[in-house]
A and B are shown apart, each in its own frame.
Chain A
Amino acid sequence: MKPLQKYLLKRVAAYIVTLYGAVTAVFFLFRLIPGNPIEAFIGQIMATQFTQAELARKLVEQYKAEFGLEGDLFTQYVNYMRQLLRGNFGVSLYGFPRSAQELIFQSLPWTIGLLGLSAVISWFFGVVLGALTAWKRESKVGAVLAGLAVVFSQIPYYIIAVTLVLVFSYMLGWLPATGAYNPSLSPGLNIQFILSVIKYGLLPALSLVLTQAFGWFLSTRYLTISLLGEDFLVYAEAKGIKQSRLFRRYVFRNILLPQTTGLGISLGFMIGGQIVLETIFAYPGMGYLFSRALGMLDYNLISGILILQSFVVLTANLILDLVYPLIDPRVKYHE
């Protein structure tokens, strides 16, 4: 077997094993926590949904059957796995009678949109500015930005969010403090709605971008500066190549590798939905959903989100591992 195939096999096998481990861990997590979350959950459905008592009873029966909750631990485990493979997380309490998976997938676009966009924008500005200002060694802009970056990159984004809300919502009244769009509008592909989405998304996005962009700026700056002393740069300069080519192919290309991997990794984590950020702004993404679910002890929603999150992070890492050797010629497929 060629080394490439061997590696692929090993890596995918590891992925499956880890995924399986994560899912099993979630299963046991809830059964080990004191207070029997599942019973409490069922009890809550019955208790709170008195307006739809019949529906509630039916769904609870269905739920018990699907997940084998009447049987022993082993039956429960088998059924749990079986439902997972079907993508069924069970019925939710928060959005009763809708299923957990329905709620989750409905919230995903908001999270991906907000966080994905912020991540990409921060990355882009941070990396390009970081490399350019470091390349021009005497750059004063670079020094100033670096100083700012040292301060801002580690201040938690939620503190910046609070400050932004203080200034722009309460003091100036320019931007709204909560929500993803104007509640009087109905979602649709029209200009009004889109503009509203942008308006409501500005503050949350800004909170993220400010911290993340400065973070990328600093790391890129470190990378570029350490690159400047390298032999191959001296040689390239000795060849008398144009400055622009020097920057593009010799400097930028070399910092691009680690920084794109970094981006991939941070995107994988973003699915956590930046719980605090979304909750502060009541932004209807997966993070907000998670905190609401916690507030109501909505067992299915909580575990569903945990599973999805593990899945996305592990998959993102797998893709990164498989793709990296394609972009970095020095790395081959091996252990």
Chain B
Amino acid sequence: MSRVRNSSKIIVSLKRVIGILGKNNKLKIGSSIFLALLVIGYISPFINRLRLGDKRPDALAVGRRWEQPSIKFPLGTDDYGRDIFGMLLIGTMYSLSIGLLAGAIATLIAVTIGFISGYKGGITDHVLRTFTDTLMVVPLWPIYMVIATYTRKLPLETVAILLGIFSWPGAARVIRAQVLSLRERAFVKLAKLNMLNDLEIVFTELLPNVAPYIVIGFINSAMGAIFAETGLRLIGIGPPLLPTLGYLLSITIGVGMLSVRPYVVAAVVAVLSLIFVSLNLINIGLEEEFNPRLKKVTGL
């Protein structure tokens, strides 16, 4: 009988969440932009097929070299004849994928460790906490760079996994703190009296309350992964030929478009900025909803 009540509780809180989300300006703007980017990114292969037929935009000599912008090639081509606009489209998909995948992995690890640490307490908590804190302090990006440099061919999934592994400590800490404070609350003790076992308590009582932090952590990890991958590709570190936005930025700048066709670079910069701004808006919107005092802080 209590199981039925618990699942309906989750549904109720989900409904409440969706209701809240509709009101916040930042959330609306942020999620619309991000959703638009996602959609464009993931239907880009189809768009490109319409435009280019069977050829991939980053294949050599899709068009002539240094083509001027035209209807067929809205952003022209580079010195290898690659279609910039097409690469912009699929680049969005690749970069977003890395972000989402890394975010998912980081969140998975963070939630597992955060929950175990916060819920079990005692020695387990102490050990896990020290482990997490140490990882937070030691900068892990250089290690990623080293690994990426010495192992040349990394597929997208591996890159995402690596980046995800490097960004979980921050979120884990936050989750642990939340779990810790919730654990002592009356409703958890009540659930224990109702003879729910630990796993049930975690899923039905704790998870809904920790959910906002999990989502915020996910977004932060995703942003961090895209930030890292793009930045490092810009200076040439990362698996070659993975056609992310970072890659596109590096080849356009490298070939000298900054001086010759600045609008091309501007386009890539614009898309990247949109990704970060939209994710940030979602983040801040979420934080405001769960901590209404913050609402007065920003103008929007």
Which residues in A have some Cβ–Cβ distance to B below 8 Å? 18, 21-22, 29-30, 33-35, 37, 134, 143-144, 146-147, 149-151, 153-156, 158-159, 162-163, 165-166, 169-171, 218, 221-222, 225-226, 229, 269, 272, 275-276, 279-280, 290-291, 294-295, 297, 302, 305-306, 309-310, 313-314, 317
Contact = CB atoms under 8 A, between A and B. Distances in A.
Contact of B294 (A147, A222, A306): A222
A217 to B, nearest CB: 11
A276 B258 CA distance: 18
Given A22-B138, A156-B272, A163-B269, A279 B300 contact: no
A63 to B, nearest CB: 20
Interface string B109-148: 0000000000000000000000000100111011101110
Interface string B264-279: 0110010011001101
Interface in B273-300: 273, 276-277, 279-281, 284, 293-294, 296-300
Q: Which of B137, B237, B296 is the most central at the interface, judged by chain A CB atoms within 10 Å of its CB?
A: B137
A171 B262 CA distance: 9
A153 B146 contact: no
A297 to B, nearest CB: 7
A143 B142 contact: no
A225 B296 contact: yes
B197 interface: no
Interface string B197-231: 00000000000000000000000000100010011
Nearest to B285: A150
Contact of B297 (A34, A222, A269): A222
Contacts of B269: 159, 162-163
B299 A144 contact: yes
A276 B231 contact: yes
A143 B299 contact: yes
B260 to A, nearest CB: 9
Nearest to A273: B142
Nearest to A169: B258
Contacts of A33: 146-147, 150-151
A272 B142 contact: yes
A155 B276 contact: yes
A22 B139 CA distance: 11
Given A33-B147, A162-B249, A162-B253, A154 B300 contact: no
Contacts of A35: 150-151
B296 A153 contact: no
Contacts of A302: 146
B299 A310 contact: no
Contacts of A272: 139, 141-142
B240 interface: no
B300 to A, nearest CB: 6
Given A33-B146, A162-B269, 6 more contacts: A150-B298, A159-B272, A162-B265, A225-B293, A272-B139, A276-B235
Contacts of A21: 134
Given A225-B293, A276-B234, A297 B149 contact: yes
Contacts of A37: 150
Nearest to B253: A162
A266 to B, nearest CB: 12
A84 B137 CA distance: 21
Contacts of A171: 262
**Interface size grouping (class) on chain B:** 35 or more
Nearest to A171: B262
A166 B258 contact: yes
B300 A147 contact: yes
For the complex, would chain B's binding face be called helix, strand, loop or mixed by DSSP majority?
helix
A306 B151 contact: no
A65 B232 CA distance: 35
A147 B298 contact: yes
B293 A314 contact: no
A34 B273 CA distance: 36
Given A146-B298, A294-B145, A280 B234 contact: yes
17 contacts: A22-B138, A29-B143, A29-B146, A33-B146, A149-B298, A154-B280, A155-B277, A159-B272, A218-B297, A225-B297, A229-B293, A291-B235, A294-B149, A297-B150, A305-B142, A306-B146, A310-B138
Interface in B130-179: 134, 137-139, 141-143, 145-147, 149-151
Nearest to A162: B269
A139 B259 CA distance: 41
A279 to B, nearest CB: 4
B74 interface: no
Contacts of A295: 236
Contacts of B294: 222, 225-226
B248 to A, nearest CB: 12
Nearest to A158: B231
A218 B223 CA distance: 18
Contacts of B296: 225
- 10 smallest A-B Cβ distances: which pairs? A143-B299, A154-B280, A279-B235, A276-B231, A146-B298, A147-B299, A294-B149, A33-B150, A170-B259, A154-B276
A280 B231 CA distance: 10
Given A276-B235, A314-B137, A155 B273 contact: yes
A211 B134 CA distance: 27
A37 B134 CA distance: 27
A258 to B, nearest CB: 16
B147 A153 contact: no
A276 B232 contact: yes
Contact of B237 (A159, A226, A291, A310): A291
Contacts of A313: 137-139
Contacts of A222: 294, 297
Contacts of B297: 134, 146, 218, 221-222, 225
